[in-house]
């Protein structure tokens, strides 16, 4: 093997890249922790159904208005809950994109 192999400016570049990757990893961990704490909510049926979800897409609560239950049939209730869950998932994904998107754009590859 030749003397000086893997030495010089290229090694400094690899070290710098490793530092960038470590910083990126720390930022991603912070963003993931923040997503787990933040919540979004969506409603359906004029507010009769409310679903709250975290930014890491865990459902925290489903609230159904007691007044809605008086007149609702099972199929309508199922449709409303499904709609509210899907809207909450969309909101959660948007929050995730807002927090994680800039980090993914900064990858040094």
Taking the C-alpha atoms of residue 91 and residue 41, their distance in angstroms, rounded to an integer, is 8
pLDDT digits (tens, 9 = 90+) for 33-60: 888 899 999 999 999 999 999 998 899 9
The residues facing 44 across adjacent strands are: 49
In a domain, 68, yes or no: yes
User: What does the chain come to in residues?
Assistant: 109
pLDDT digits (tens, 9 = 90+) for 88-107: 999 999 998 888 887 766 55
Q: Quick one: which of 108, 101, 79 has its CA closest to 17?
A: 108
Q: What is the CATH number of the domain that holds 78?
A: 3.30.1310.10
Under the phi-then-psi rule, with left for phi > 0, alpha for psi from -120 to 50, and beta for the rest, what region is 45? left
Largest CA distance in the chain: 84
pTM: 0.70
- Name the residue range of residue 68's domain: 44-109
In a domain, 11, yes or no: no
């Amino acid at each position: 093997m030749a003397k000086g192999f893997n030495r010089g400016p290229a090694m400094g570049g690899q070290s710098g890249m490793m530092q960038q990757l470590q910083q990126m990893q720390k930022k991603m961990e912070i963003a993931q922790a923040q997503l787990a704490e933040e919540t979004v909510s969506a409603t359906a049926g004029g507010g009769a159904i409310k679903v709250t979800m975290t930014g890491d897409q865990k459902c925290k609560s489903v609230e159904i208005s007691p007044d809605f239950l008086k007149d609702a049939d099972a199929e309508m209730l199922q449709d409303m809950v499904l709609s509210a869950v899907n809207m909450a998932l969309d909101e959660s994904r948007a929050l995730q994109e807002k927090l994680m998107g800039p980090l993914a754009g900064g990858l040094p590859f």
